[in-house]
Structure 1
Amino acid sequence: MSESGERARAVGINHVALDVRDLDEAIDFLDGLFQFKLRSRSKGMAFIELGDQFIALFENRDTGKDEHRHFGLVVDDKSKVKARLDALNIPILGDRFLDFRDPSGNRWQIVEYSQIEFIKAPQVLEFIGASGLEKADDAREDLRKKGIEI
């Protein structure tokens, strides 16, 4: 790695932009799986609120599919997503992670807040209705190793 003086530091994800073949279909699909607020919507695009982040959906009929491209969405309770996927007969990809494809072929990987190092400020957790979320011991230890006490 080169020295850090000349480069900006990556500090997190502001948003993820996804191509979807049909905007209404994509919003309906996500609404069947998750509780969310639509930040805004205009011709050919919609923005889903994630507290201090968002997902941008852009209508594009030629979405293509790639086996490894994906993004990880942090949720408060992974088992609820698994139950919804099962109830909606949406196939889970592989057996190691909770991955699935949306109707446009985008691969989603679901990770639980308690299990990862990702930290939301208490104010953001309260704003999105998720105050009181805790980290598992393994995640706390990983954070401690980095000098972060929570």
Structure 2
Amino acid sequence: MTKPKLMGLNHVALEVDDVDAAFEFYGKVFNFQLRGSHRDDSGVLQMAFVDMGDQFLALSRGRTQERHTNRHFGLVVNDRSIVMDLATAAGATVPEGRPFNFLDLWGNHLEIVEYRDIQFQVGRRAQGAGHRRRQDRDRDRDRDGRDAEERNL
């Protein structure tokens, strides 16, 4: 049996206390479109879906977790040069020693990654994929005994 290959993410759901306030906060930091939303029977906004191309960010009412310091996700933007200024102006907290990272008002930890940096890394891996050293191939063997090249990674 062949295991399914991971292809990407569909969405990331962030718990917040107030979806309207979260939508306002993220609107001060990023340019985005609302993909959709959901209100309960009394009209309170329960979820907002922020469009990110093929993926989306789901802002979900009902924060129950503590603030995060290490657990985070990377959010890709076309230009991160002013993101941190915008985030701090909107009330975000910046963890010490973590450039291009911030915690939103509800403690969700985001790392901001620039799109061109992602493309450089993908290209660099693809360029060297055919010329890997033996110890690198051995290190990357999985439990089935197949290496990354055999798995088409």
Within a 5 Å distance, the mapping from 1:27-106 to structure 2 comes to: 27-43=23-39, 44-88=46-90, 90-106=92-108
Alpha-carbon spacing, 1:102–1:87, altered in 2? closer, same or farther (3 Å): closer
Instruction: Provide the residue aligned with 1:145 in structure 2.
Output: 128
- Change over 3 Å in CA distance of 1:146–1:84 after alignment to 2: farther
CA shift for structure 1 position 42: 1.2
1:20–1:60 CA contact under 8 A, matched in 2: yes
* Match of residue 17 from structure 1: 13
Shift of 1:104: 1.0
> What is the aligned-residue identity percentage?
38
Q: How many residues align?
A: 124
Q: Indicate conservation of the 8 Å contact 1:21/1:63, yes or no.
A: no
Amino acid at match of 2:107: G
Q: Which has the larger radius of gyration?
A: 2
Gapped regions of structure 2 (runs ≥ 5): 40-45, 131-153
TM-score normalised by L of structure 2: 0.71
Is this contact kept in 2: 1:99–1:110, CA < 8 A? Answer: yes
What is the root-mean-square deviation in Å for CA atoms of aligned residues? Answer: 2.0
Flag structure 1 segments of 5+ consecutive residues without an equivalent. 118-134
Distance apart, 1:41 and its partner CA: 0.9
Task: Tell me if structure 2 keeps the 8 A contact 1:23–1:58.
Answer: yes
Relative contact order, higher structure (CA 8 A, sep 6+): 1
CA contact (8 A) 2:91 2:104 kept: no
Deviation at 1:84, TM superposition (A): 1.4
Residue 111 of structure 2 aligns with which residue? 109
Segment of structure 1 superposing worse, 63-72 or 32-41: 63-72
- The CA deviation at 1:62 is 2.4
Equivalent residues of 2:15, 2:62 under 8 A apart: yes
Following the alignment from structure 1 to structure 2, what is the Cα–Cα distance between the partners of residues 47 and 90? 20
Q: Tell me how far apart the structure 1 counterparts of residues 118 and 32 of structure 2 sit (CA, whole Å).
A: 21
Change (3 A) 1:112 1:143: farther
